């Protein structure tokens, strides 16, 4: 149980990647007051929490309504997370875990960046939502584990908020190179976890 909870925390931490949020948030709020930065950070974290908790509680029902089996979703979700991991390892910025050039340009013209692009897709993006759904399908029938999953989601989001609020000192400490090196290491871990999701899905689907 402890090992599963630790793995769950690692998966969510790697996918949300609070450390990588710091420089992005810093760039988006450059020139803004401390009050503005705090407002955007708190609002984005709150909205992300609502989005992820919503998928935690109704995601399984949505999959069943769409006729999607758990093994199929594990394989597809694993592939999506594998792409996410590749993006981290090769320092690529795709629409899966960051904003596109046009989206970034649109964000710079807005006063409120909390909903877009901060809450979605940077914090509660496709990769994070997929991960939450994958984890909830395994734990939904165990009230203790499901409650633990909710707590872990809240802890990781709290860490994301901390990194947003401390984006300036974090970037001074790590620098661009240090942040990229750490991101690549976390990407390797995510790739391995994604492959494990796919293996589990294939085993269940074919009764291996």
pLDDT in tens, 30-40: 778 899 999 99
- Is residue 167's pLDDT more than 80? yes
Q: What is the mean pLDDT of residues 68-87?
A: 87
Residue 101 predicted with pLDDT over 80: no
pTM: 0.81
Cα–Cα distances in Å, from 36 out to 29, 78, 135, 150, 168?
8, 37, 34, 29, 14
The tokens describing 177, both together, are 């190179």
What is the C-alpha separation between 90 and 85, in angstroms, rounded? 9
Cα–Cα distance between 48 and 95 in angstroms, integer? 17
67 sits in the region (left: phi over 0; alpha: psi -120 to 50; else beta) called left
How many residues does the structure list for the chain? 208
- Single out the residue of 48, 55, 83, 84 nearest to residue 164, CA to CA: 48
Position 22 confidence tier, pLDDT thresholds 50, 70, 90? confident
Residue 105 confidence (pLDDT)? 56
User: Rounded CA gap, 183 and 15, in Å?
Assistant: 10
Is residue 142 scored above 60 in pLDDT?
yes
Residue 172 and residue 34 in contact, taking contact as beta carbons nearer than 8 Å: no
User: What tokens does 160 get?
Assistant: 């994301």
Instruction: Provide the mean pLDDT of the chain.
Output: 85
Tell me the two tokens of residue 139: 């734990």
DSSP string covering 177-201, please?
HHHHHHHHHHHHHHHHHHHHHHHHH
Region of 31 (left: φ > 0; alpha: ψ -120 to 50; beta: rest) is left
Structure tokens of 90? Answer: 């090769």
């Amino acid at each position: 149980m402890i090992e599963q909870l630790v793995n769950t925390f690692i998966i969510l931490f790697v996918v949300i990647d609070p450390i990588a949020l710091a420089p992005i948030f810093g760039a988006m709020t450059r020139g803004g007051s401390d009050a503005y930065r705090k407002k955007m950070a708190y609002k984005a974290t709150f909205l992300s929490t609502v989005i992820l908790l919503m998928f935690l509680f109704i995601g399984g029902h949505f999959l069943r309504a769409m006729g999607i089996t758990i093994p199929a979703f594990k394989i597809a979700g694993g592939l999506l997370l594998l792409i996410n991991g590749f993006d981290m390892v090769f320092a690529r910025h795709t629409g899966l875990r960051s904003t596109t050039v046009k989206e970034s340009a649109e964000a710079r013209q807005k006063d409120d960046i909390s909903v877009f692009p901060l809450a979605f897709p940077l914090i509660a993006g496709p990769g994070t939502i997929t991960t939450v759904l994958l984890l909830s399908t395994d734990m939904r029938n165990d009230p203790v584990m499901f409650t633990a999953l909710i707590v872990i989601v809240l802890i990781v989001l709290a860490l994301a908020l901390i990194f947003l609020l401390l984006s300036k000192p974090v970037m001074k400490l790590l620098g661009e190179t240090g942040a990229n090196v750490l991101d690549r290491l976390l990407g390797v871990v995510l790739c391995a976890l994604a492959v494990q999701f796919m293996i589990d899905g294939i085993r269940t689907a074919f009764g291996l």
